[in-house]
Structure 1
Amino acid sequence: MTNNFSVKLGEGGFGVVYKGEILNGNPVVVKILNASKGNGKDFINEVASISRTSHVNVVQLLGFCLEGNKKALIYEYMANGSLDKFISKKGFERTPSLSWDNLLQIAKGIAQGLDYLHKGCNTRILHFDIKPHNILLDEDLCPKISDFGLAKFCHPKESTILMSDARGTIGYVAPEVCNKHFGGVSHKSDVYSYGMMLLEMVGVRKNINVDATETSEYFPDWIYRRLEQEEDLRTDGVIDTEEKEIERRMIVVSLWCIQTFPKDRPTMSRVIDMLEGNMNSQEMPPKPFLSSPPTISESEWTRSSLESV
Structure 2
Amino acid sequence: MTNSFSDNLGKGGFASVYRGKLPDGHLVAVKILKESKGNGEEFINEVASIGKTSHVNVVALLGFYFEASKRALIYEFMPNGSLEKFMCNNTSISRCQLGWEKLFQIAVANAKGIEYLHQGFNTRILHFDIKPHNILLDEELNPKISDFGLAKLCPNRSSRVSMLGARGTIGYIAPEIAYRNVGDISYKLDVYSYGMMLLEMVGETKNTDVRVDHSSEKYFPDWIYEHLEQNFELDFNRVENEDEVSKRKMVIVGLWCIQTDPKTRPSMSKVIKMLEGSMESLQIPPKPYFLQPRAAENFSTSESLVTLS
Question: 1:283 deviation in Å?
Answer: 2.0
2:95/2:103 contact within 8 Å kept: no
1:98-127 deviations in whole A, cap 9, x for unaligned?
211111111111100110110112201011
Instruction: Give the 5 Å matches for 1:158-237.
Output: 158-203=158-203, 205-214=205-214, 220-231=221-232
1:175/1:294 contact within 8 Å kept: no
Question: 1:36 deviation in Å?
Answer: 4.2
TM-score, with structure 1 as normaliser: 0.88
Mean Cα displacement is larger for which, 80-89 or 186-195? 80-89
Instruction: Give the 5 Å matches for 1:131-142.
Output: 131-142=131-142
Which position in structure 2 is the counterpart of 1:250? 250
1:49-68 deviations in whole A, cap 9, x for unaligned?
00000000111000111111
Q: Which amino acid aligns with 2:124?
A: R
1:50/1:148 contact within 8 Å kept: yes
Question: 1:4 deviation in Å?
Answer: 1.1
Give unpaired runs (5+ residues) of structure 2.
none
- The verdict on how the C-alpha distance between 1:230 and 1:157 changes in structure 2, with shifts beyond 3 A counting, is same
Question: 1:276 deviation in Å?
Answer: 0.4
Give unpaired runs (5+ residues) of structure 1.
234-238
- Distance between the aligned counterparts of 1:168 and 1:242, measured in 2? 34
Question: 1:213 deviation in Å?
Answer: 2.7
Question: 1:176 deviation in Å?
Answer: 1.2
Mean Cα displacement is larger for which, 285-294 or 159-168? 285-294
TM-score, with structure 2 as normaliser: 0.88
Which position in structure 1 is the counterpart of 2:9? 9
- The verdict on how the C-alpha distance between 1:246 and 1:295 changes in structure 2, with shifts beyond 3 A counting, is farther
Which position in structure 1 is the counterpart of 2:98? 98
- Distance between the aligned counterparts of 1:94 and 1:255, measured in 2? 20
2:124/2:158 contact within 8 Å kept: no
Report SS of the residue matched to 2:202: helix
Q: Which amino acid aligns with 1:125?
A: I
Report SS of the residue matched to 2:251: helix
Mean Cα displacement is larger for which, 222-231 or 240-249? 222-231
Instruction: Give the 5 Å matches for 1:122-137.
Output: 122-137=122-137
1:17/1:32 contact within 8 Å kept: yes
Mean Cα displacement is larger for which, 173-182 or 156-165? 156-165
Q: Which amino acid aligns with 1:151?
A: A
- Distance between the aligned counterparts of 2:264 and 2:204, measured in 1? 26
Q: Which amino acid aligns with 1:79?
A: P
1:154-199 deviations in whole A, cap 9, x for unaligned?
1345221111111111111111122220111111111011101111
Report SS of the residue matched to 1:229: helix
Question: 1:300 deviation in Å?
Answer: 4.7
Mean Cα displacement is larger for which, 106-115 or 195-204? 195-204
Consecutive aligned runs of 4 or more in structure 1 exceeding 4 Å deviation: 93-96, 214-220, 291-301
Report SS of the residue matched to 1:23: coil
Mean Cα displacement is larger for which, 36-45 or 102-111? 36-45
Root-mean-square deviation (CA, aligned residues, Å) is 2.8
1:9/1:18 contact within 8 Å kept: yes
Mean Cα displacement is larger for which, 8-17 or 263-272? 8-17
- Distance between the aligned counterparts of 1:139 and 1:83, measured in 2? 13
2:242 matches 1:272: no
- The verdict on how the C-alpha distance between 1:65 and 1:261 changes in structure 2, with shifts beyond 3 A counting, is same
Which position in structure 2 is the counterpart of 1:82? 82
- Distance between the aligned counterparts of 2:267 and 2:155, measured in 1? 16
- The share of aligned pairs that are identical, in percent, is 58
1:189-217 deviations in whole A, cap 9, x for unaligned?
11011101111111164414245134596
